[in-house]
Amino acid sequence: MSKTLVITGASKGIGRATASLFLEKGYRVINLSRSNPELDGLVHISADLSDASWVPQHGTNVVAAIGEADELVLIHNAAMMHKDDNETVTPEALAETFQLNVIAATQLNQLLLPHMNEGSSILYVASTLAEKAVAGTCSYVVSKHAQLGLMRSTCQDLMGRGIHTASICPGLTDTEMLRNHCNNDTAILADMAALSSYNRLVKPEEIAYTLFFCSQNPAINGAVIHANLGQRES
């Protein structure tokens, strides 16, 4: 049986760890991001998903790359996070964030659903900020809440198709996105680590394993799975 993963944003962080794990598990892995992860065996399609015209440019290549997969796992992982708030967020930043974090996922679903057989899955890498807000990340928070709605409507619209879906919400995970967000400030990173029950950041590999687990379990359908080591609530 041929098993294929299509993932966005596997050039670094959570996506890269996830692509590596699925390769180890015997999946063909196809990645869409701007830079190449350079992982052995991975098929890379260079695409900027923040530009809606990526579909006419690269859609045919993506469909050709999946071939005749018996089981297709689709993971929407690529995202961007601006520092903005209700008073400073610009229509342009909101639109760009929506395109990458929400609309590109819809475009990819529409491209690949005709090729997804029973046993396939669509997983969304969400965030703690898909269900709550913190100050200073307005466009990201809004987009992640919308992406959660997209997952729930994916579940309802695909009833009976044998394709399951879920949103996996990483807590503070040690990746470039998080480090850039706090300007690589070790004191801020330590404060963030202290918010978890284990006094450390989540490892990208832990989210990769959670995504793999969800891909294998149709009982997890329409579900929101938090993977955050247990977060201290203030």
Ligand X SMILES: NC(=O)c1ccc[n+]([C@@H]2O[C@H](COP(=O)([O-])OP(=O)(O)OC[C@H]3O[C@@H](n4cnc5c(N)ncnc54)[C@H](OP(=O)(O)O)[C@@H]3O)[C@@H](O)[C@H]2O)c1
- Helix orientation angle between 104-112 and 54-66, rounded to the nearest 10 degrees: 40
Taking the C-alpha atoms of residue 129 and residue 119, their distance in angstroms, rounded to an integer, is: 29
- Figure out which of the listed residues 42, 105, 170, 211 binds ligand X, where binding follows CB under 6 A: 170
Region near ligand X per CB under 6 A, out of 2-10, 61-69, 108-116, 155-163? 2-10
Q: Which is nearer to ligand X, 39 or 119 (CB)?
A: 39
Region near ligand X per CB under 6 A, out of 10-18, 65-73, 114-122, 152-160? 10-18
Closest CA to 7 of 84, 80, 90, 66: 66
- Figure out which of the listed residues 120, 173, 210, 215 binds ligand X, where binding follows CB under 6 A: 173
* H or E element, residue 81: none
- Figure out which of the listed residues 14, 74, 89, 166 binds ligand X, where binding follows CB under 6 A: 14
Q: Where would I find the H helices in the chain?
A: 13-24, 54-66, 91-98, 104-112, 138-157, 176-181, 186-193, 204-215
Region near ligand X per CB under 6 A, out of 59-67, 150-158, 166-174, 209-217? 166-174
- Count CB neighbours of 104 within 10 A: 25
The token pair at 225 is: 């799975």
Q: Which amino acid is at 9?
A: G
Residue 223, sorted as left (phi over 0), alpha (psi -120 to 50) or beta, turns out to be beta
48 makes contact with ligand X (CB under 6 A): yes
Residues binding ligand X: number (CB under 6 A): 28
Interaction mask 98-137, ligand X, x per CB under 6 A: --x------------------------x-x----------
Region near ligand X per CB under 6 A, out of 63-71, 105-113, 172-180, 182-190? 172-180
- Figure out which of the listed residues 18, 109, 137, 175 binds ligand X, where binding follows CB under 6 A: 175
Taking the C-alpha atoms of residue 73 and residue 118, their distance in angstroms, rounded to an integer, is: 11
CB 136 within 8 A of CB 83: yes
- Figure out which of the listed residues 35, 197, 199, 217 binds ligand X, where binding follows CB under 6 A: 35
50 makes contact with ligand X (CB under 6 A): yes
Taking the C-alpha atoms of residue 84 and residue 38, their distance in angstroms, rounded to an integer, is: 33
Q: What is the nearest approach in angstroms of ligand X to the Cβ of residue 185?
A: 15
Q: Which is nearer to ligand X, 221 or 231 (CB)?
A: 231
13 makes contact with ligand X (CB under 6 A): yes
Residues binding ligand X (CB under 6 A): 8-15, 33-35, 48-50, 77-80, 100, 125, 127, 170, 172-173, 175-178
